[in-house]
């Protein structure tokens, strides 16, 4: 067990938060940071791992500044990174709608939405640069939705009382990523970015400088087509490799999303922060069977016009579960719009963690509406009756079609009329793992606890606290890549201008590559009976059952012991077919699964050590009489940072970074009034 009694406290200076009032910190930082002059920039190499919104925007912007960039992705093209699947939109405080928005309000909503567990200064900077992102993307030719007058359109999203979300149909992530990809392509064409597709980072290489300080100086990456390991050196390494949601096996993440690059950094001394903060998204298509490979998200934007409900009467729920009646058979007066009932001020637009828990509460009470009892309705009848089907289809048509393709039910289809009210087929939804707020610990400069190693986008922990608001992930990924890292990394690189280009024929690279080969040989030589997926599914069950939407001490302790047993199963009974020569997709999956198991333990340790409920982390021991999350600001007002203890078998050590709020008064989150 982690020793939780004598935890280390981080030195407040380590987070490198600039002096001054919150609104001036970033301006002050930029005014006083060290820069690298243009002639020196071309002497410096930067590795960027990942090509999602954070990775692609960072790689292209660093190259525009003049640095030499090496950019890696595991897919066949940088354009396929999972940012592409983000549907809803991107937030910014433009106040184009004249509805009272401001940088401060975006900052405030994000801190509040994160249940007061984010670092205040980072979030303010995020809100500050958000407006620049919209300008940048429009200049790239991103086709955001517009009004007839030619100006940009906005919509509202959960956790906010203003309309500040910019969108491109239901494909905002795709359009923003293709924008970043276009800038990246320009730099590849200009020779400033070298692009390595179908390469996976396996190891981080540290080299001591003349003062004996270990610095990140390169990576070992596997060419997934040839199966060979290759060495890459640089003056700094940036990881932008996304989140760890696939630890749960079933999630809305893409099949290839994994946490191995982050785990490689963790094992080399980068702290992992707040791993227990995992977002469970309320509007996903429910699980249909045990052969399912992933879960599909239905955009949160549906909650703008869709109303979430379950039957008022348990008898109706039982009939729905048995398939004897349909949702449209239940009249208005027998429907329980439980979000509107419990949270009158925000209604269906409460933040994701609140909506997910409320759905679980109703289903646990027996009111689930499908054959497994694990689904609630999302209904458009009221919106269609108010706006007409054409307007509703214009807004959500592609999502309706997607839903129909998967479930064979069309949500916009007229189903029934009772007492003069027309009812349409509702969607069925249920919460699923979607995003991970936790990640590699970074300071204000986005540098990890390893010198020269930076982490950006979902893969760091910095801006979302214990819960992320909708349309904020795209904002953070692009803020880090376009407007934060290109400044802050120079403060580090300015000291490195006399360091020549690195060679890869050093003992450090030899040792790192030898380790990668030995690790793969170990996996190949187990020669057991279990496939990678069968063990991964078992991992997912343990995680969802004990480290999912509701957690308690007993369950978490059980989870940790089950995960230890699972690791033994993995090490003794795994079977990987084929050889190490050439492409071996099972071997690549086995490599990732090893890290998912370590990650699973890390999530469980963190969940166990955080004795409170906040945001996506809900401990059943800590709740109010009404079932709302109960934070403990007295004892838990900190970022948990986990330090690797040299072996996956050892429990990691907890270091606490205390939070300090100057601008915002910490209070109980209230979405009721």
Partner 1 sequence: MEENIMKVNLRVWRQAGPKAQGAFVTYNNVETTPDTSFLETLDILNETLIEKGEEPIVFDHDCREGICGMCSLYINGHPHGPATGATTCQLYMRRFANGETITVEPWRSAAFPVIKDLMVDRNAFDKIQQAGGYVSFNCGGAQDANNLPISKVKADEAMDSASCIGCGACVAACKNGSAMLFVSAKISQLALLPQGEVEKDRRVRAMVAKMDELGFGNCTNTGACAAECPKNIKLANIGRMNRMFIAAKCKE
Closest CB to partner 1 among residues 10, 429: 429
Smallest distance, partner 1 to C-beta of residue 452, A: 23
Nearest to 121 by CA among 438, 446, 435, 439: 446
Cα torsion at 336, 338, 344, 346 (round to 10°)? -130
Closest CB to partner 1 among residues 129, 205: 129
Closest CB to partner 1 among residues 225, 325: 225
Q: Coil, strand or helix: which one is 378?
A: strand
Closest CB to partner 1 among residues 288, 553: 288
CB 279 within 8 A of CB 352: yes
Give 3-state DSSP helix, strand, coil % of the chain, rounded to 5.
Answer: 40, 20, 40
Closest CB to partner 1 among residues 66, 347: 66
For 61, 134, 351, 353, 485, the CA distances from 190, given in Å and listed in that order, are 13, 25, 43, 44, 21
CB 526 within 8 A of CB 572: yes
Smallest distance, partner 1 to C-beta of residue 319, A: 16
In the block, residue with structure tokens 């050892």: 650
Q: From the candidates 105, 117, 352, 592, which is the catalytic residue?
A: 352
Closest CB to partner 1 among residues 256, 269: 256
Closest CB to partner 1 among residues 405, 621: 405
Smallest distance, partner 1 to C-beta of residue 390, A: 15
For 105, 442, 596, 612, 655, the CA distances from 600, given in Å and listed in that order, are 35, 21, 6, 20, 19
Smallest distance, partner 1 to C-beta of residue 466, A: 27
CA-based Rg of the chain, rounded to a whole angstrom?
24
Smallest distance, partner 1 to C-beta of residue 508, A: 31
Residue 546 CA to residue 494 CA, distance in Å, equals 47
Specify the pairing of strand 414-418 against strand 421-424: antiparallel
Smallest distance, partner 1 to C-beta of residue 551, A: 26
Q: Tokens standing for 55?
A: 């990775």
Q: Tokens standing for 484?
A: 């934060």
- Catalytic (active site) residue 352: yes
Smallest distance, partner 1 to C-beta of residue 168, A: 6
Between helix 585-609 and helix 507-526 the angle, nearest 10°, is: 100
Residues designated catalytic: 352
């Amino acid at each position: 067990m982690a020793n939780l009694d004598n935890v280390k406290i981080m030195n407040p200076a380590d987070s490198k938060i600039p002096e001054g009032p919150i609104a001036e910190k970033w301006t002050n930082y930029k005014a006083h940071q060290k820069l690298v002059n243009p002639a020196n920039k071309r002497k410096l190499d930067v590795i960027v791992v990942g090509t999602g919104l954070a990775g692609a925007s960072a790689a292209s912007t660093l190259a525009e500044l003049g640095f030499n960039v090496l950019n890696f992705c595991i897919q066949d093209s940088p354009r396929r990174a999972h940012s592409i699947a983000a549907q809803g939109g991107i937030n910014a405080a433009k106040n184009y709608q004249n509805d009272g928005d401001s940088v401060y309000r975006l900052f405030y909503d994000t801190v509040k939405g994160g249940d007061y567990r984010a670092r205040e200064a980072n979030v303010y900077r995020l809100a500050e640069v958000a407006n620049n992102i919209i300008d940048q993307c429009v200049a790239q030719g991103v086709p955001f939705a517009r009004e007839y007058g030619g100006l940009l359109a906005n919509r509202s999203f959960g956790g906010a009382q203003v309309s500040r979300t910019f969108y491109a149909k239901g494909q905002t992530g795709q359009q923003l990523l293709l924008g970043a990809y276009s800038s990246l392509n320009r730099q590849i064409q200009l020779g400033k970015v070298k692009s390595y597709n179908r390469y996976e980072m396996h190891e981080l290489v540290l080299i001591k400088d003349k003062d004996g300080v270990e610095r990140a100086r390169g990576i070992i990456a596997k060419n997934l087509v040839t199966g060979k390991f290759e060495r890459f050196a640089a003056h700094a390494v940036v990881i932008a490799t996304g989140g760890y949601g696939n630890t749960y096996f079933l999630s809305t993440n893409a099949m290839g999303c994994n946490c191995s690059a982050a785990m490689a950094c963790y094992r080399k001394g980068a702290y992992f922060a707040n791993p227990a903060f995992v977002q469970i998204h309320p509007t996903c298509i429910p699980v249909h069977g045990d052969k399912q490979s992933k879960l599909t998200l239905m955009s949160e934007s549906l909650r703008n016009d869709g109303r979430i409900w379950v039957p008022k009467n348990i008898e109706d729920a039982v009939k729905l579960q048995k398939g004897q009646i349909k949702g449209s058979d239940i009249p208005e007066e027998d429907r329980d719009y439980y979000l509107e009932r419990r949270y009158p001020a925000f209604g269906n637009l409460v933040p994701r963690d609140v909506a997910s828990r409320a759905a679980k509460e109703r289903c646990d009470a027996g009111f689930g509406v499908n054959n497994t009892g694990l689904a609630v309705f999302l209904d458009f009848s009221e919106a269609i009756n108010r706006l007409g089907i054409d307007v509703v289809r214009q807004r959500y048509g592609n999502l309706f079609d997607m839903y129909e393709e998967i479930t064979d039910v069309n949500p916009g289809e007229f189903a029934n009329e009772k007492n003069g009210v027309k009812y349409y087929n509702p969607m069925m939804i249920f919460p699923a793992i979607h995003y991970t707020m936790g990640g590699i610990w970074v300071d204000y400069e986005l540098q990890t606890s390893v010198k020269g190693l930076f982490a950006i986008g979902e893969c760091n922990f910095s801006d979302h606290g214990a819960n992320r608001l909708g349309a904020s992930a795209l904002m953070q990924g692009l803020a880090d890549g376009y407007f934060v890292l290109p400044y802050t990394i120079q403060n580090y690189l300015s000291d490195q201008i006399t360091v020549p280009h690195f060679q890869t024929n050093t003992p450090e690279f030899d040792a790192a590559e030898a380790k990668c080969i030995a690790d793969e040989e170990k996996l190949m030589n187990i020669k057991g009976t279990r496939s990678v997926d069968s063990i991964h599914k078992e991992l997912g069950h343990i995680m969802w059952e004990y480290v999912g939407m509701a957690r308690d001490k007993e369950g978490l302790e059980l989870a940790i012991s089950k995960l230890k047993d699972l690791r033994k199963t993995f090490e003794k009974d795994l079977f990987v077919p084929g050889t190490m020569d050439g492409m071996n997709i099972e071997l690549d999956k086995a490599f990732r699964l090893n890290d998912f198991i370590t990650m699973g333990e890390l999530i469980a340790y963190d969940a166990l050590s955080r004795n409170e409920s906040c945001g996506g982390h809900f401990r059943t021991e800590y709740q109010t009489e009404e079932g709302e999350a109960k934070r403990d600001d007295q004892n838990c007002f900190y970022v948990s940072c986990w330090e690797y203890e040299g072996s996956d078998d050892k429990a990691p050590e907890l270091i606490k970074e205390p939070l300090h709020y100057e601008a915002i008064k910490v209070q109980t989150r209230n979405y009721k009034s």
